[in-house]
Structure 1
Amino acid sequence: MKKIILFCLIASYAMAQKKPVQVTHNEAQKRVEVTVDGKPFTAYIYPGPDVLKKPVLYPIQTAGGNFITRGWPMDPRPGERVDHPHHVGMWFNYGDVNGHDFWNNSNEVKGHAGPFGTIVHTGVKSAKSGKDKGELTVTANWLDKDGKPLLQETTTFVFQGQGNERSIDRTTTLKALDKDVTFKDNKEGMIAVRLARQLEHPSNKPEVFTDASGVATKVTKMDNTGVTGLYKSSEGIEGENVWGTRAKWMNLTGNINGEAVSVVIMDHPKNVGYPTYWHSRGYGLYAANPMAPSVMSQGKDKAMNYVLPAGKSVTFQYRMLIASGSTTDATLSQQVSQFIGR
């Protein structure tokens, strides 16, 4: 009996010490793994400029284990588009920073003149697991074409998961170094995720996709089987009409392998350009761009051309909610209120 009691006490202690949200840094593999209740959620990866020109979160999975992110070009899956090789996972960058294109930079991108900027991971400041959430703080430098830093980035991710919901809060602070940094109005920005095929909008336009071996194949007639994505903004705009409109949040709904999914990106009132414009396309680019009002409104709004003075900082805050099952506007309103602290 004593042995049984002792065993139960040890098991209870072990369970108490277990932290449902685990954040584990694997320095050798240049990645930080995030799991919820032992199930893979996402990973912060920084393989370096020879592979990726920026650190990203990749892949991202639902509570049911389905990928919301496209696999190509990192891990090609059958039936995926093979466009925009710089669209990997979830990322944060911009298309014109002191004349440098941080958005399109990729070893595989052709037809862009540049000059390109590169975001290089410089360190993991902290990685904490927890009962209710996990936290990761990382640093990076935004380098110009000559490898000189323009901006110093500090980003904190907060990962949460409970039941059928997962969420990622990203707080990024950019500090200008020895000279002013201008973010010229440019449609390519700013926080973004490239979606799995199932979360795209159905389309009849001929495209190039991967076959079962990961080889690019021209497809003249689209197969929209299982393609179920639909955008809806906080302002009630739906479908591909959300592009170039402003909204406090966007909800993308769809179905992946029988799992109903909502992927919500929330803007924060303290962000520059709030409420953000949406650079979200039916082919699977899901992005919020607060820095380019003239471009995103097609000239209806005045250019921002945001200038960050030397030595000064600016902070951006976003939340991505990944929910399995239906998500009502009322539920989203509660989530948004919780995120912005109201």
Structure 2
Amino acid sequence: MNLKELARKLDLSPTTVSRALNGYPEVNEATRERVAAAAKRYNYQPNTRAIRLATGRAMAVGHVIPLTTRHEIVNPVFADFIAGAGEVYSRNGYDMLLSVVPDDNEERAYRELKSRGTVDGVIVHGPRLDDPRIALLTEMEVPFVVHGRATGSALPYSWVDVNNRRAFHRATEFLLDLGHRRIGLVNGLEFMDFAIRRRAGYEQALAQRGIALDPAIMVSEEMTETAGHRTVAAMLRAPNPPTALLVSSMIMALGARRAIEEKGLRLGRDVSVIIHDDELSYLRNGDDVPIFTATRSSVREAGRQAADMLLSLISGRETGPKELLLEAELIIGQSTGPCKG
């Protein structure tokens, strides 16, 4: 079925049907819902090339990925985010354009996307402290949504983020309630916004219980298995090792568990561990009973929400800035127990 045939069945003009399917704000909600229902009923698949010609849109969303070895985008969390975003793009007739560029070419990549008209908007990944991309994209008038937030940014912008500060505050409190006082932090790289917020939650919870910070058991590293192993092994060799750990990802936690077992200790009995679990499709935290106690928030769902927010901004259904703060759930697993010391 083509657009004209669908329009005839609805007794609407092809232009109205096209605008309804593409979210133009001048089409009222009742008409949009009626057209969407008919498109689903008749299995109508829009002709993307025709939409591009009719609307002047590229019908594509850009993701610019800096190519660096010391950046959190190397984490497989990115794949699940893209999978969630891709579901929304596909449902709405959008393509996804991935550009992997050297760090010093990132600004040029955004400007080329704009000048060529190859995308209608972009999603910004891995926001950093005072992230310059926010000012750049605002000045370029490119619709964008940030996955995360950028501490220190003075400009308003649209974002989808997890409440990282509250998640790690709550996790630290849980360990304190179990009697732990030597709680180590194995964090991501702390020029990244999420890591800044996680440290803040951890530090606040300790301060509220009158516990002084110990830099010897607080590390900031790339979120890899080897980094988790190396840093936790060093902590456990120290004269006054931690009895519990907060670890910023499942992948780092695998290295932490290896270090704990190499020391002849038992996870959850001798050393308690809480991780942040992004609910990765191919790296699950156990089956019925979680392996790790975790602050859990689906990164795939964050991808869906960010993509939906961006398409709403592109279509004009929504005006920015839009903000969505997702809460992480504390899941009790086998990796935590009362302090023995």
TM-score range, shorter chain: under 0.3
* Alignment TM-score, normalising by the size of structure 1: 0.25
Larger Rg: 2
* Alignment TM-score, normalising by the size of structure 2: 0.25
Structure with more contact order per residue of length (Cα contacts < 8 Å, sep ≥ 6): 2
Whichever structure has more helix as a proportion of its residues is 2
Whichever structure has more strand as a proportion of its residues is 1
